[in-house]
Amino acid sequence: MFKFRQDFIRFAVQQKVLSFGEFQTKAGRLSPYFFNAGLFNDGASLRSLSQFYAQAILASETPFDMLFGPAYKGIPLVAGTAIALAEQGSNVPYCYNRKEAKDHGEGGTTVGAKLQGKVLIVDDVISAGTSVRESIDLIRSAGAEPCGVVIALDRMERGQGELSAAQEVQRNYNIPVMSIATLSDLLGYLHDEDDLVQNLYATQMYRDKYGVKND
């Protein structure tokens, strides 16, 4: 297990991005934890988050030529991750899309580097998979190749069937989905933290009920 995974969970708890209690998910389930990446909302936290993304990408050893961030949440993530990778000696181009095509100036539906080669998608989470599907369609329409998706936290939770949203993306598009941390990492963290261990049982029960069978 990579140390940065536990460090990221700790960081998310400290930033109150990861909180515990009783929260209703979009699927109507009552979850004992809630992850809101939108609360990484200042320069220092975005810098740290970007460094975690860079570590996860490099640790995966996935070959890629550039980064893509789906609007809107993916825009600061992809820019920050590109900076963090450059600081670690891997300077790669990046771009992101517009929600609406621009018909003046440079025009087009993307901003930044031209989509080409193997493109790694940077996003916060995968829920319904809509953002990933749109990103893949856009990348392929530009003649480039989507080569993977990297997200902050994989909830490892079943969707409508037996697979998680991340597993469905992997199956449907034959590309890897990487994450900085997973629900398994969260359970390991709770087990070792005396101040939070009371949340371990509820989180484990939730995984037993809704989690996917394989990591």
**Catalytic option among 102, 114, 191, 213:** 102
> Count of CB atoms within 10 A of residue 30's CB?
11
Residue type, 14: Q
* Range list of β-strands (E), the chain: 18-24, 30-35, 66-69, 94-102, 108-112, 118-122, 145-154, 177-182
> Count of CB atoms within 10 A of residue 196's CB?
15
**Catalytic option among 3, 16, 99, 104:** 104
Tokens of 61: 């050893």
102 is catalytic: yes
Tell me how far apart the alpha carbons of residues 87 and 41 are, in angstroms, rounded to a whole number.
Answer: 21
> Which bin fits 38, alpha (ψ -120 to 50), beta or left (φ > 0)?
alpha
191 is catalytic: no
Tell me how far apart the alpha carbons of residues 90 and 82 are, in angstroms, rounded to a whole number.
Answer: 8
Query: Which residues does the annotation mark as catalytic?
Result: 102, 104
